[in-house]
Structure 1
Amino acid sequence: MNTENQAMLHILCGKIASGKSTLARELAKQPVTVVVSEDPWLSALFKEQMRTIADYVRCSATLRSAISPHVVSLLSAGVSVVLDFPANTVANRQWMMDIIRESGADHRLHFLNVTDDECLSRLHVRNQSGTHDFAVTDEQFALISRHFAEPQAEEGFTIIQYDNEK
């Protein structure tokens, strides 16, 4: 592949309501770039099955398994992808690194380092608006946030950090 036209995989890491989907939309404005977003797919395919965090983990794993070859194909064809799936655990990031290796694409991991208070404030606004595929309670935010692991240099990603962006 011509390195001047090499596809880019944009990966998003940040807690719930940190601004990942907003950043995804901005990144997707670049030429020959598409967004592949977890939430609409999960909602369309599994909404009635997702009642607990364990349900989310199961459904998300199924979706990742199904969508991986598609993302690799897009990247291999020279289409850049903004992968709007949370890169919030080492295991999720390993899945994303597997896509990078298989496709040969370049990548950037965008780390939105936003405080819990700011995320919760945004979450309350988002829940009230009713425009998101899923409403998340404060308790669910706390439970999910316990599993959050900041990306580390030794994982091998090129990291761009955004600190408490408004």
Structure 2
Amino acid sequence: MATLYFLCGKMAAGKTTHAKALAAQTGALLFVQDALLETLYPGEILTLKDFERCAGRLQAALAPQIKALLRRGLDVVLDFPANTLKQRAWFRELFEAAGAAHELHWIDTPDALCKQQLRQRSAHLPPGTPWTSEAEFDAVTAWFQAPDAAEGFRVVRCPRA
């Protein structure tokens, strides 16, 4: 049975790094939302509303293909945010429709470390670039909902200090 691996964690928590390592470790196919969005919508995602619109289109386009891959027995890692109940519902629909197993990897990183990593990864970008400041971190993190046992996911907690 195939497995859908997906991740939650705050901005700059290390989700993409973890997703790449997980895909290498399991031999799974890896889809990275940020890279796909940048390729499909270069320079168009300037606000949270832009992100939601473009990410929604991407999810709608990929969902049938992801389900097909899982049905064929191929493991998939989705480096897409599973940071809210609503976002996690999309992942549930994918693995349940495909009859696949799943793992939700929670990259549990303290805010201070996330902010430090955000500064490091944004250092080469021009000031004011979206998604690079502590203000953007705080705005996005306000929406984060840690996974709860009542949701019924198989959670793999990956604490970072």
Q: Which residue, out of 124, 134, 153, partners 1:138? A: 134
1:123 counterpart letter in structure 2: L
Gaps of 5+ in 2: none
Equivalent in the alignment of 1:90: 85
Tell me how far apart the structure 1 counterparts of residues 150 and 26 of structure 2 sit (CA, whole Å): 31
Aligned-pair CA distance for 1:77: 1.1
CA RMSD, aligned part only? 1.4
Partner in structure 1 of residue 4 of structure 2: 9
Residue in 1 that maps onto 2:44? 49
1:28-54 residue CA offsets vs partner (Å, 9 max, x unmatched) = 113541111100111011133211111
For residue 11 of structure 2, what is the amino acid of its counterpart?
Answer: I
Identical residues among aligned pairs (%): 34
- TM value normalised by structure 1: 0.89
Structure 2 CA distance for aligned equivalents of residues 9 and 129 of structure 1: 34
Displacement after TM superposition at 1:135 (Å): 4.9
Contact 2:131 2:137 in 1 (8 A): no
Structure 2 residue corresponding to 1:62, chosen from 40, 54, 57: 57
Residue 3 of structure 1 aligns with which residue? none
- Per the alignment, residue 28 of structure 2 pairs with 33
Q: Residue type matched to 1:26 in 2?
A: A
Per-residue CA deviation, residues 105-161 of structure 1 (Å, 9 max, x unaligned), is 10110001111110000111111256xxx7522111111111100111111100011
- Alignment partner, residue 73 of structure 2: 78
2:135 pairs with 1:148: no
Q: CA deviation at 1:162?
A: 1.5
Question: C-alpha deviations, 1:37-78, integer Å up to 9, x for none?
Answer: 100111011133211111111111111111111111111111
